[in-house]
Amino acid sequence: MILLRSGGEAPRHTIGVFGAGLVGSALVESLCSLSGMRTARLPLDWTDSAERDRQLEQIRARIAEACGPPEGARLTLVWSAGRAGFASGRGQTAAELENFRAVLALSRRCAEELPNAVTRLVHFSSAGGLFEGQRLVDSRSVPRPRRPYGELKEEQERLLLATRIPAVIVRLSSVYGPAGAGQRTGLVSTLLLNGIRRRVSSIYGSMDTLRDFVWTGDVAAFVSRLILGEPGTNGAQTILLASGRPFSIFEIQKIIEDLLGYKIYVSHAPGAPNREDITFSRAALPPGWVPSDLRANAGIVYREAMRTGFGSGGADLR
């Protein structure tokens, strides 16, 4: 995990980010850019429960030290961890839920032991997992998970609300951005990177399947401003971050091909278990949220891939 803390004599703000994947790493970069916070990377083993609990105790001690005794300190704990996805089975989602429970236990203990600090939780959830197969999702839509991944996200939200610690739940549509080593890639980056390598991309959906895509930089900028702003309500807040403009898989393929200047190789998995549309109403998006253009962002992913060498090697993205 990554621990950030402000300097100076003003009331301290300590931020713990659990998970430094596509969203978490972008969030840390944005927070540092906006606030100049100091960062420390602390080890956290998600695979060995005994080691995880020992490391969480060390993290708790570091958080207590960072917040200090003065009145008015702020503590924000962010969950952006997890490698489960739409195709994950119950074994993987159960293990991830256990890790989430452990971090929630840490959050409750910090809130109890630091009464002088204003504690808040920020949780990244999955709008796609919760609303799979629904169109024009808005504030009145009811989550109806259809697979273990969606059930995981629903249970995480339920457990988070049960802590009664002030929280912000951020439901994200399909996130894309420059791919780092060891990070998951979504459809946009996978098609682009495999296209650069002249590899085949397997699509688990039909060409007219509609999905909503959101740029990781937009998410990081919006949520970092929310974290650094006034704490606000003592209750729970749920926000949806999506573009409100769905693209078909065919449209995404065409954008990538126009960028590369040649056709890319795409195969369609039999049965297409992930073919249903998931779209979101613009009326459900929060004030101040302005998603950027997918075509322009695809160019950023391309240039970053060529700069870092992901275009000529790296992990198998099929």
Q: How confident is the model at residue 9 (pLDDT cuts 50, 70, 90)?
A: low
The tens digit of pLDDT for each residue in 81-102 reads: 999 988 899 999 999 999 999 9
What mean pLDDT value characterizes the chain?
Answer: 91
The predicted model gives 262-272 an average pLDDT of 81
Structure-block tokens of residue 82: 């997890």
pLDDT at residue 213 tops 70: yes
The tens digit of pLDDT for each residue in 45-83 reads: 999 999 999 999 999 999 999 987 778 899 999 999 999
Q: How confident is the model at residue 200 (pLDDT cuts 50, 70, 90)?
A: very high
For 296, residues 6+ apart whose C-beta sits below 8 A from its C-beta are: none
> H helices then E strands: how many in the chain?
9, 13
Q: Does residue 190 belong to any structural domain of this protein? A: no
Structure-block tokens of residue 71: 């009145």
How far is the C-alpha of 123 from the C-alpha of 18, rounded, in Å? 10
Angle at the Cα of 252 from the Cα atoms of 209 and 261, rounded to 5 degrees: 150
Q: Does residue 14 belong to any structural domain of this protein? A: yes
More confident residue, 41 or 314: 41
How many structural domains does the chain have?
A: 1
Q: Does residue 193 belong to any structural domain of this protein? A: no
**pLDDT for 257:** 97
Q: Exposed, middle or buried: residue 20 (CB in 10 Å: 0-12, 13-18, 19+)? A: buried
**pLDDT for 112:** 94
**pLDDT for 276:** 86
**pLDDT for 313:** 37
pLDDT at residue 264 tops 80: yes
**pLDDT for 318:** 27
How do 265-268 and 200-203 pair as beta strands? parallel
Q: How confident is the model at residue 317 (pLDDT cuts 50, 70, 90)?
A: very low
**pLDDT for 270:** 64
Q: Which residue's entry shows tokens 């060529």?
A: 306
Q: Does residue 86 belong to any structural domain of this protein? A: yes
More confident residue, 45 or 11: 45
pLDDT at residue 15 tops 50: yes
* Stated pTM of the model: 0.93
Q: Which residues pair with 4 in a beta bridge?
A: 15, 39
Domain that holds residue 50: 2-182+213-245+277-292
How far is the C-alpha of 311 from the C-alpha of 297, rounded, in Å? 16
Cα dist from 255 to 249, 297, 299, whole Å: 10, 11, 10
How far is the C-alpha of 265 from the C-alpha of 197, rounded, in Å? 10
For 189, residues 6+ apart whose C-beta sits below 8 A from its C-beta are: 176, 177, 178, 179, 301, 317
Q: Give the number of C-alpha atoms closer than 13 A to the C-alpha of residue 127, restricted to the C-beta side.
A: 31
R_g over Cα of the chain: 20
CATH of the domain at 9: 3.40.50.720
Q: Does residue 253 belong to any structural domain of this protein? A: no
Provide, rounded to the nearest whole percent, the portion of the chain with pLDDT above 70: 93
**pLDDT for 274:** 73
pLDDT at residue 312 tops 80: no
Amino acid at 140: R
Provide, rounded to the nearest whole percent, the portion of the chain with pLDDT above 90: 76
For 84, residues 6+ apart whose C-beta sits below 8 A from its C-beta are: 92, 93, 96, 148, 149, 152
**pLDDT for 72:** 83
Q: Does residue 15 belong to any structural domain of this protein? A: yes
Q: Does residue 70 belong to any structural domain of this protein? A: yes
Q: Does residue 270 belong to any structural domain of this protein? A: no
The predicted model gives 141-164 an average pLDDT of 97
Q: How confident is the model at residue 287 (pLDDT cuts 50, 70, 90)?
A: very high
pLDDT at residue 111 tops 60: yes
Q: Which residue intervals of the chain are DSSP H helices?
A: 22-35, 49-67, 90-113, 127-130, 148-162, 187-197, 216-228, 249-260, 294-308
